[in-house]
Chains A and B, each alone.
Chain A
Amino acid sequence: MKKLLILGGGTAGTMMANKLAPVLDKNEWQITVVDQEETHYYQPGFLFIPFGIYTREDVIKPRHDFFPSGVEVIISPIEVIEPDANRVKLSNGRVLNYDYLIIATGSHIEPEETEGLKDGGWRENIFDFYTLDGAVALSNYLKYWKGGKMVVNIVEMPIKCPVAPLEFVFLADWWFTEQGIRDKVEIEYVTPLPGAFTKPIASRFLGQFLEKKNIKLTPEFSTGRVDSGRNKIISWDEKEIDYDLLVTIPTNMGSEVIARSGLGDDLNFIPTDPHTLMAKGYDNIFVIGDATDLPSSKAGSVAHFEAEVLFENFLRKIEGRELLPKFDGHANCFIESGFGKGILIDFNYDVEPLPGKFPLPGVGPFSLLQETRMNHWGKMMFRWVYWNLLLKGAELPIEAEMNMAGKMRA
């Protein structure tokens, strides 16, 4: 019996189990998935919770609902991966041997990395929305907030879903308008990047949106510490920014188990071949999703495109064939822009987000780098797609490799 072990039952790990279970012969293969939690979180939904659009119940389901029969699912933290012995030790004492390992242990926020961030103000007037508890706490706070200065701060890059903080300020602008207190709220967007986003054309386009919505952009601010007694964030070079309400996107890191296993870089992300998705230095370990060190976005759409490539490469690997260097860094992100509208961007390692049209068979073209109602509708529809199609490994009418059709170069 050959053993495939998948570490992490989030978006990427669940997709891989669902794609591989039907094609690997049950008499020859045992597939095991390990995750530390019973609950599967729809992470793209966290963004909507602070504004009362989604509740906690809208973004959680039991993890067990999403695995095919025949896949062994173990709920336990992981103690250590021992790649030289082809085995994994779990915190519950079990030792799992494997022939092939897929690491999908994701990324998470580490507020402790920033001095002062978890001092007195944490969950008082400092919140995150990258955890469910943080998003719910912020929702409760905003319900009764009378206004003041809200600072949204990206501590350092890379972060999961790099458009989410922008979406947050766009939605906040809309929500405060709805509440009738927009004139009492000052919004400042503080980022270590040189502009609103990572890539030049999208950065200019989204920068104009910030301006239009009267959101102040402070670029090139690398947060060194937080003084929650004086309500200030302070950069490494001693620039200070005041806040009444701080919405922080703390340092994002890969799982601790990656560090314990000596497999990661300084942020616990795993060095991964950018095109085949094989862990560098190993020939029976693949890495997928946020756990990689790839210069692609850490996002569900990226995990989805990686899953298509990894599925093919996994089957090639076990049949002794060469891996295909097919992953191109493709990402496809709906950016909620408030007032019932959205923006769509589609890009990869080499091609930055461009304006134009994005063809989607059966649904119709979406507009790229333009604000439309259709894009907002695409974003809201995605939750259903996620639970019902994406996690189950169904074919979606969108190719893993980025396509230039419809895109326009200036």
Chain B
Amino acid sequence: MATKTLAGKTVEVDEEGFLVNPDDWTEEMAPLLAEQVGIYELTDRHWEVIRFMRKEYKERGQIPTVRRIKNVGGIPTKELYELFPEGPAKKAAYIAGLGKPQGCV
């Protein structure tokens, strides 16, 4: 398994760079992970999404979908795409240190 060092901590990552263990994640890692997917500034709204995703994952064991981020997290889909362009669920999960969201069949 590949590893990378973020904010002074070495963590396991999958072949696409997603953290393997969500518990390895710290808030200091978020800006570094964000840069890797082309987001150079994390605003309060970004953080709202990231924290919502962490909370959902912790409580439900699932990475929330775009629809759930809208319905429960209160972030309109349009805005979510502005915050995390081209695949918000995937990018936000990446930055939040969660695994890759499961694709649908």
Residue ranges of A at the interface with B (Cβ–Cβ < 8 Å)? 157-158, 162, 193, 198-199, 220, 222, 224, 236-237, 265-267, 295-297, 329, 331
Contact = CB atoms under 8 A, between A and B. Distances in A.
Best-surrounded residue of B67, B71, B80 (most CB of chain A within 10 A): B67
Contacts of B102: 295
Interface of B: 65, 67-68, 71-72, 77-78, 80-82, 85-87, 102-105
A198 B105 CA distance: 6
Contacts of B77: 224, 236
A331 B105 CA distance: 10
B59 to A, nearest CB: 13
Nearest to A113: B67
Nearest to A293: B62
B65 A266 contact: yes
Contact of B104 (A157, A220, A222, A331): A157
B71 A266 contact: yes
B38 to A, nearest CB: 13
Given A220-B87, A224-B77, A237-B86, A267 B67 contact: yes
B67 A266 contact: yes
Contact of A220 (B67, B68, B71, B86): B86
A224 B67 contact: no
23 contacts: A157-B103, A158-B104, A158-B105, A162-B104, A198-B103, A198-B104, A198-B105, A199-B105, A222-B81, A224-B77, A224-B78, A236-B77, A236-B78, A237-B86, A266-B67, A266-B71, A266-B72, A267-B67, A295-B104, A295-B105, A297-B105, A329-B105, A331-B105
Nearest to B77: A236
Contacts of B68: 265-266
Contacts of A222: 81
B66 to A, nearest CB: 8
Contacts of B67: 266-267
Given A157-B104, A236-B81, 5 more contacts: A157-B103, A158-B105, A193-B103, A198-B104, A296-B105
Which 7 pairs across A and B sit closest by C-beta, in order of nearness? Answer: A236-B81, A158-B104, A157-B104, A266-B67, A266-B68, A237-B81, A297-B105
Nearest to A157: B104
Contacts of A297: 105
Contacts of A162: 104-105
A111 to B, nearest CB: 16
Nearest to B65: A266
B105 to A, nearest CB: 5
A120 to B, nearest CB: 22
Contacts of B81: 222, 224, 236-237
A224 B102 CA distance: 21
A114 to B, nearest CB: 11
A157 B67 CA distance: 11
A329 B102 CA distance: 14
A222 B71 CA distance: 18
A198 B80 CA distance: 23
Contacts of A296: 105
Contacts of B71: 266
Nearest to A197: B105
A237 B104 CA distance: 21
Best-surrounded residue of B77, B81, B85 (most CB of chain A within 10 A): B81
Contacts of A236: 77-78, 80-81
Nearest to B79: A236
A236 B89 CA distance: 13
A237 B68 CA distance: 19
A166 to B, nearest CB: 14
B11 to A, nearest CB: 26
Contacts of A199: 105
A272 B46 CA distance: 32
B105 A237 contact: no
Best-surrounded residue of B67, B85, B104 (most CB of chain A within 10 A): B104
A265 B68 CA distance: 9
Contacts of B82: 237
B24 to A, nearest CB: 25
Contacts of A265: 68
A314 B5 CA distance: 50
